[in-house]
Amino acid sequence: MSDSFKIGLAGLGTVGVGVIKMLQQNADVIAARAGRSIEIISVIAGIKAKDRGVDISAYDWANSLEDMAQDQRLDAVIEMVGGSDGEIKSFVETALDNGKHIVTANKALLAHHGYDLAQRAENNNVTIAYEAAVAGGIPIIKSLREGLAGNKINSVYGILNGTCNYILTEMRETGRDFADVLDEAQEKGYAEADPTFDVDGIDAAHKLVLLGALAFGVKPDFDALNIEGIRHITSKDIRYADDLGYRIKLIGMARLSQDGNAMQSIAPCLVSTKSAIAGVEGVFNAVQTNGDFVDQTMMEGRGAGEGPTASSILADIIDLARGNNRLIFGVPTAQLNTAQWQGAEVLSCQCYIHVKAEDKSGVIADITACLKEADVSIDSFIQRGHEDDGSASVVIVTHEARFSDIQKAVKIVEGLACVLDKPTLLRIEDI
């Protein structure tokens, strides 16, 4: 294995530049760990004549993605362009058909087309490596596929989006509302100009689909995922949760039930301030797994950015250079099961309910009557009145009940004449 491992880089944005920096600065240590040198042969990006802060003059500039995908000199293509369909999907398919490994941070592509692409890779005796697609610099894919391979994984929980975690952290620490903190996150570069994928939970959902497929040996199924973002979380919710001993986090959860059914959801949830995941703040990500023999593990780190993402990409490249061509979802695609997915409504849990209502007598009695009608009982509540607009906040923590019953109760509450806005309903997760 003395010949160099030859790669092409598609995409020279923040992450692509990070990969070049690592290869240029750490060439000797990378070669020692890979068993041979890693050689960049060609690159391609949207604009050729652009100062990227790294010297790319020694590399060929590919005429097109198609040319790179068919370049017989290359052992692997590093895809850092993004997108889930069209040209980028065709590029990856062509590269696989031409016997090239793929290394990618593209969680959307794999969440939507991972099964078909995995089949194509197997048919061509190559693989798709995607450590960088989930949780940035946290080596969770390798952990699930290798370190925990002897375990039956029962659940995976995670904070999978640094933008949302930053916003929720800042809201708690400063008392500001969502829109204000989002503006700041965009100014600092933590959120995109169009933040939809982040704050509406879609980015985290793409990552969770891949974790669930790998953890449970099932086909990735993005359409089966319940997704809820954080736009409706207010600074009052953050404060009330803190008063009750909780923090609000956007939690990705995939777990198996005793009957073999699976559930996956992305939603803001309350977690105890005593839990390890509650202490994961700012732009950091964390992933917690539960296995039948290993019990609980948790990994924390930066979920995005030049360094962490490039680090994960290089780890995959080194694996491929060594000849470690791992199965994409841990088992051959023919052995991936089609999961019987269930929604969050089947869960039995406690919940947080925040009702904004008129500040007058009888309101609490009306609300509790609605909960009783749905067979939901109250564990504790907080009442805060005398707001500037004449409203009062009623905050309830329910006893454990079926989530569908609690949803029904909140729907009844929403119909009360005294209720001024749609109530906030959040699950309390014992992580």
Catalytic residue among 6, 100, 107, 207: 207
Secondary structure (H, E, C), the chain: CCCCEEEEEECCCHHHHHHHHHHHHCHHHHHHHHCCCEEEEEEECCCCCCCCCCCCCCCEECCCHHHHHHCCCCCEEEECCCCCCHHHHHHHHHHHHCCCEEEECCHHHHHHHHHHHHHHHHHCCCCEECHHHCCCCCCHHHHHHHHCCCCCEEEEEEECCHHHHHHHHHHHHHCCCHHHHHHHHHHHCCCCCCCHHHHCCHHHHHHHHHHHHHHHCECCCHHHCEECCCCCCCHHHHHHHHHCCEEEEEEEEEEECCCCCEEEEEEEEEEECCCHHHHCCCCEEEEEEEECCCEEEEEEEECCCHHHHHHHHHHHHHHHHHCCCCCCCCCCHHHCECCCEECHHHCEEEEEEEEEEECCCCHHHHHHHHHHHCCCCEEEEEEECCCCCCEEEEEEEECCEEHHHHHHHHHHHHCCCCECCCCEEEEECCC
Catalytic-residue membership of 207: yes
Q: How far apart are CA 110 and CA 121, in angstroms?
A: 12
- Dist. CA 61–CA 50, nearest whole Å: 13
> Hey, which residues are catalytic here?
207
